[in-house]
Amino acid sequence: MRDPLLAGILSFLLPGVGQIYNGRVLIGITLTRKIIQCAVISQIEKIFQNDPSVRMLRIEKLRMKLHPKQGARDVLHSLNW
């Protein structure tokens, strides 16, 4: 094992890099990839949460659950579309 303090600092900055530093390359790459994937997915979700068209689709879906016999055209009319 190399310098544990440096490995800890590297892992703090980006999880998995400390593992790569210690020679456990496959585990380090896997951890780093998973952390990056989670960050990207959370940013994509944040973008779509603020998109008004997605918000309208969620409202329409909820209204269709509450009033299943009401057609999509009636739902859009009730939303003033």
CA distance 61 to 33: 34
Residue among 9, 8, 10, 16 nearest 34 (CA): 16
pTM over 0.85: no
What number is the average pLDDT over the span 14-36?
93
CA distance 6 to 79: 57
**How do residues 50-79 score in pLDDT, each as one tens digit?**
777 777 777 777 776 766 665 556 656 666
Residue 2 CA to chain centroid, in angstroms? Answer: 34
